[in-house]
């Protein structure tokens, strides 16, 4: 089979880590007899430099006519002082919206080989943890009305959080289905003691949950959830939450896995076409040095194989290669604690050898 993948390398370490992932995909293609064709498009700061805006129409069209999309990262200090609507990050929000990717899956699990990297006490993570964060991705405060106005105290800025019942229902359904396939436990995270959107969220999640009697659903306030994630992460199976809470909690979850350089993500909508990217950013401080950890991006490709192409064996082949590279003690700089480490290209070679 031939698969057309739009490649949005982006800024900072984006080109290095996507280059790794493309090489791993090509090796998987060779092994299993598939052709993965990557077509590059500009996004983020590099697009601003070329055209004056972060998300060119050709990029949107390229993504919409592809079978799937791989993204590196966008942004950097060079573009940090631009106005909000032409910042690199705006392109990321734009492409998520244009592709109608309302679901963001962010798995966070503790690799046995990386137990020592987890900042939590040993007894807390003795049994490991394996969490799937289901983050709503095209609604909430990220996409609500915003602006500047004259307020009671003079000039003020505002952003608004709005969630329709429909948006909550569809993300709840994905989360419930995910929980049904996994441990049967769903925690819905909100701030229902303060926010009206959260009260509708909570009510709607429970309504949809009636269709899934096999899933145990509980609610948790987001401040408590932030605490519980470090107190006892093993209590979580699937988490469902809003766009902004999911953004924050997934970074927190990544830290307890040892490194943010390990966490992949899949953004999905109503079709098989998804957008796959590491949850970390463009790390401008280490860009171009060949020391970034490409594993989150490589694992994002494994998610693509599974969710967009239904290639389960191929996906597992990548996941298991990464497992064995870590078991064998190979580490990139972020996980080496000052000891010897492999470069981005070297660890990529190791993963390819293990496929
Ligand atoms: C993420 C990022 C983005 C987000 C930014 C870069 C817009 O932090 O994917 O988690 O907040 O969604
Ligand atoms: Mn984030």
Give residue 341's pLDDT: 96
* For the chain, the helix, strand and coil percentages under 3-state DSSP, each to the nearest 5: 45, 20, 30
279 in ligand 1 pocket by Cβ < 6 Å? yes
Q: Tell me: pLDDT of 211 over 90.
A: yes
Nearest CA to ligand 1 atom 7: 89
pLDDT digits over 86-145, tens only?
999 999 999 999 999 999 999 999 998 998 889 999 999 999 999 999 999 999 999 999
pLDDT digits over 304-352, tens only?
999 999 999 999 999 999 999 999 999 999 999 889 999 999 999 999 9
Quote the mean pLDDT of the chain: 97
Compute the Cα dihedral for 314, 316, 322, 328 and give only its sign.
negative
Give residue 306's pLDDT: 98
Q: Which of 67, 90, 191, 276 is catalytic?
A: 191
Mean pLDDT of 282-302: 97
141 in ligand 1 pocket by Cβ < 6 Å? no
Q: Hey, where are the domains in the chain?
A: 1-103+260-355, 119-256
DSSP state letters, 40-96: E---THHHHHHHSSSS-HHHHHHHHTSSEEEEEE---GGGTTS-GGGSHHHHHHHHH
Mean pLDDT of 5-11: 98
Give residue 206's pLDDT: 98
Cβ atoms of 343 and 290 within 8 Å: the answer is yes
Mean pLDDT of 241-263: 94
Mean pLDDT of 62-86: 95
pLDDT band at 259 (very low <50, low <70, confident <90, very high): confident
Q: Which residue has the higher pLDDT, 258 or 61?
A: 61
Give residue 84's pLDDT: 83
Question: Regarding the domain delimited by 1-103+260-355, which CATH topology (the fold level of the hierarchy) does it fall under?
Answer: Isopropylmalate Dehydrogenase (3.40.718)
247 in ligand 1 pocket by Cβ < 6 Å? yes
Same fold, 1-103+260-355 and 119-256: yes
Sequence-separated (6 or more) residues with CB below 8 Å from residue 63: 6, 8, 41, 69, 95, 98, 99, 275
Q: Is 142 a catalytic residue?
A: yes
pTM, entire model: 0.96
Beta-carbon-side half-sphere exposure of residue 128 (alpha carbons within 13 Å) = 9
What CATH number belongs to 119-256? 3.40.718.10
């Amino acid at each position: 089979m031939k698969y057309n993948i739009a490649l949005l390398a982006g800024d900072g370490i984006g080109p290095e880590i996507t280059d790794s992932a493309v090489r791993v995909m090509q090796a998987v293609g060779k092994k299993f007899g598939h052709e993965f064709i990557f077509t590059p498009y500009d996004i983020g700061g590099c697009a601003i430099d070329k055209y004056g805006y972060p998300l060119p129409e050709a990029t949107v069209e390229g993504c919409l006519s592809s079978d799937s999309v791989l993204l590196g990262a966008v942004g950097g200090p060079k573009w940090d002082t631009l106005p909000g609507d032409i910042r690199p990050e705006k392109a990321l929000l734009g492409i998520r919206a244009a592709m109608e990717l309302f679901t963001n899956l962010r798995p966070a699990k503790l690799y046995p080989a990386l137990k020592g990297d987890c900042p939590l006490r040993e007894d807390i993570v003795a049994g490991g943890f394996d969490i799937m964060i289901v983050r709503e991705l095209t609604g909430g405060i990220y996409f609500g009305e915003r602006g500047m106005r004259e307020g009671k105290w003079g000039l003020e800025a505002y952003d608004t959080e709005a969630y329709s019942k429909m948006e909550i229902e569809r993300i709840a359904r994905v989360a419930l289905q995910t929980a049904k396939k996994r441990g049967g436990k769903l925690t819905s995270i909100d701030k229902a003691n303060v926010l009206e959107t959260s009260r509708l969220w909570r009510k709607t999640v429970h309504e949809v949950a009636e269709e899934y009697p096999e899933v145990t659903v509980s609610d948790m306030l987001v401040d408590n959830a932030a605490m519980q994630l470090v107190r006892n992460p093993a209590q979580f199976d699937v988490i469902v939450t809003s766009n902004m809470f999911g953004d924050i909690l997934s970074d927190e979850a990544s830290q307890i896995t040892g490194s943010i350089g390990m966490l992949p993500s899949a953004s999905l909508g109503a079709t098989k076409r998804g957008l796959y990217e590491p949850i970390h950013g463009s790390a401008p401080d280490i860009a171009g040095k060949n020391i970034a950890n490409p594993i989150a991006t490589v694992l994002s490709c494994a998610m693509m194989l599974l969710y967009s192409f239904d290639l389960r064996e191929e996906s597992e082949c990548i996941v298991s290669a990464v497992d064995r590279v870590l078991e064998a003690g190979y580490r990139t700089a972020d996980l080496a604690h000052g000891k010897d480490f492999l470069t981005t290209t070297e660890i990529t070679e190791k993963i390819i050898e293990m496929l």
